[in-house]
Amino acid sequence: MSEELEGNCLVAQSGGPTSVINSSLAGVVAEALNHECIGEIYGGQNGILGILNEQLVDLAAESQQTVRALRHTPGAALGTCRFKLKGQQDYDRVLQVFEAHDIRYFFYAGGNDSQDTADKISKLAQERGYDLRVIGIPKTIDNDLVTTDHTPGYGSVIKYIATTVKEIACDNAAMGQYDLVQIIEVMGRSAGWIAAGAALAKPRDEPNAAPHLIYLPEVAFSAEKFISDVQHVLQKEKYCVVVVGEGLVDADGNYISTASADADAFGHSQLGGAGEYLRGLVEETLQIKARSVSLGMSQRAAAHCSSQTDNDEAYLAGQAAVEAAIAGETDKMVTLLRGDGETYTCETGLAPLSEIANGVKKLPESWINEDGVSMNFNFYKYALPLIQGEVQVPFEDGVPSLAKLKMVKVPRKLGAHTFE
C-alpha cells in the first residue's frame, strides 16, 4: 500500500461521447467522496483544452441526485474536445494548472489518443518531480483499445444498432417490393466492431434474417463482390439489408467512402459516405431502388436504448480509477477483464498507458465467416453479454429527463494561456 497522497482530484472527458461516459464520471465523483485524502473534486471543461484554459468546475457542488442522473444522461456532461497538445509549452501549462490548484489525482476518460495524452502528462510530472497520480478511464464506442476485453460504450452502441437494424428490417419487409436494398452506415473508422454488432439483430435460428450483409474495415471491399452478394440475397429474399462500417477500405487500403476526407487534430480521417457510395453502386449497376441511411451521432447518444451491463461497467471503471490512484497506482488505464466461466462476469484490472496509447485492436478474423459478410458463433459469444439489460431512463412530459450540471466555476489563479 503506497503512502496516502493528499490533494485535489481532477476528472475530464475527451473525444467522441458515448451513452455511458457520464456513468464513469458519476463513478469517479461517488468514489472520490469516500476518501478524505482527496480535498476538492474538480472537473475539466472540454477535456484537455479546458485544462489549458484553466476552466475548472466544482463537482462537489453538484447534488447527489444530479450525480446519479448522470448515469442515464448521454453526451459528455463536462464537455469534450479533440485537441492535441502541440508542444512543450502546452505540457508545461497543464502542470502549471495542476500545481496552482494542487491537483494530485488526474482521471482522463477517453480513447486511444486521450490515453496517449494522459501518458505524456504522467511522464512529464515524474520528470519534474511533481507528485501526481494519473489513471485513464477507457471510453470508446469503437471498442478498439488494446489490453482491455471491451470498452465502456461499446455494449450500448451495438445494442442500439442491432435494435435499429431489426426495426428498419420490419419496415423493409413491408416495403420490399419498392425499396429492394436498404444500406445502413454505422461508425467505426479503423475497426469493424460496431458494424459487426449489427449481427446481433439476427436470431441464431433465422440465418436468412436481416442484416443480410455486413461490410467491415477488416475485409477489403470489392465492388464486384458486393454486387454479387446483393444479387444472391435478392434471389432468395424480397429485400436486402446491408450494414457498412464507415471505415470500409479497398484492397489498396483506400477509403471507399470519399475521395478526400478532412482530418482531425490527431490526423484521423473524418469519414462518412460509405452508405451513399454503396447505394450508388446498386442503383447504377442493378437498376433497382436502393436507400441509404447513416445512423450518425444517434449511435453514441441513445441512452434510452443503452445496455445496463455497459452502464454498470462504465460506473465500475470510474470507481476503479479512483481506487487505483488512492492505492498508489499511476500511469495506468483501467481495463475490463472477462471471467473464464460460462456465465459472464467482469472485473477491473490495470494496464500501462504506454501500451494503450495509439494502439488499435482489430476484430479477429476468426470471428468473421468465410463469406466475409457475416459473423460466426465466436462473435455472438463475445458480444451478447455486453448488451444485456435495459437502463431505466426517467421520462418527464414524454421525453427523457436528463442531468444538467450547475458547472460552478473554480476561480482562476493563472493568466491566459498562449497557444502555439
Per-residue model confidence as pLDDT tens digits over 186-237: 998 778 999 999 999 998 888 899 999 999 999 999 999 999 999 999 999 9
pLDDT band at 86 (very low <50, low <70, confident <90, very high): confident
pLDDT band at 240 (very low <50, low <70, confident <90, very high): very high
CA angle 131/136/137 to nearest 5° reads 140
Amino acid at 10: L
Q: Which three cell numbers stand for residue 300?
A: 453514441
Beta bridge partners, 249, equal: 255
Helices 88-100 and 112-128, interaxial angle, to 10°? 70
| Parallel, antiparallel or unpaired: strands 332-338 and 290-294 | unpaired
Give the CA-trace dihedral at 308, 312, 314, 318, to 10 degrees: 160
| Parallel, antiparallel or unpaired: strands 240-245 and 181-186 | parallel
Alpha-carbon distance 49 to 58, whole Å?
17
**Cβ proximity of 240 and 282 under 8 Å:** no
- Judged against a pLDDT cut of 70, whether residue 1 lies above it is answered with no
In this predicted structure, what is the pLDDT of residue 18?
A: 95
Q: How far is CA 202 from CA 7, 133, 167, 196, 375, in A?
A: 51, 45, 11, 11, 10
What percent of the chain has pLDDT above 90? 84
Helices 21-32 and 308-326, interaxial angle, to 10°? 40
Task: Look up cell 471503471; give the residue.
Answer: 317
- Taking only the tens place, the pLDDT of each residue in 38-76 is 999 999 999 999 999 999 999 999 999 999 999 999 999
**20: nearest Cα among 300, 279, 296, 382:** 300
Alpha-carbon distance 317 to 197, whole Å?
22
- Judged against a pLDDT cut of 60, whether residue 286 lies above it is answered with yes
In this predicted structure, what is the pLDDT of residue 258?
A: 52
pLDDT band at 268 (very low <50, low <70, confident <90, very high): very low
Q: Which three cell numbers stand for residue 208?
A: 436468412
In this predicted structure, what is the pLDDT of residue 197?
A: 98
- Judged against a pLDDT cut of 50, whether residue 263 lies above it is answered with no
- Judged against a pLDDT cut of 80, whether residue 402 lies above it is answered with yes
- Judged against a pLDDT cut of 80, whether residue 16 lies above it is answered with yes
Residue 144 known to be catalytic: no
How many CA atoms within 13 Å lie on the side-chain side of 249?
14
What are the φ and ψ backbone dihedral angles of 401, each rounded to 5 degrees?
-95, 115
pLDDT band at 178 (very low <50, low <70, confident <90, very high): low
- Judged against a pLDDT cut of 50, whether residue 126 lies above it is answered with yes
- Taking only the tens place, the pLDDT of each residue in 134-146 is 999 999 999 999 9
pLDDT band at 2 (very low <50, low <70, confident <90, very high): low
Q: Which helix (H) or strand (E) holds 158?
A: helix 154-175
- Judged against a pLDDT cut of 90, whether residue 89 lies above it is answered with yes
| Parallel, antiparallel or unpaired: strands 399-400 and 395-396 | antiparallel
> How much is the mean pLDDT over the chain?
92
In this predicted structure, what is the pLDDT of residue 151?
A: 97
In this predicted structure, what is the pLDDT of residue 176?
A: 65
How far is CA 4 from its chain centroid? 32
Task: Look up cell 495506468; give the residue.
Answer: 332
In this predicted structure, what is the pLDDT of residue 272?
A: 55
pLDDT band at 112 (very low <50, low <70, confident <90, very high): confident
Helix (H, G, I), strand (E, B) or coil at 311: helix
pLDDT band at 394 (very low <50, low <70, confident <90, very high): very high
Write down the catalytic residue from 90, 116, 142, 331.
142
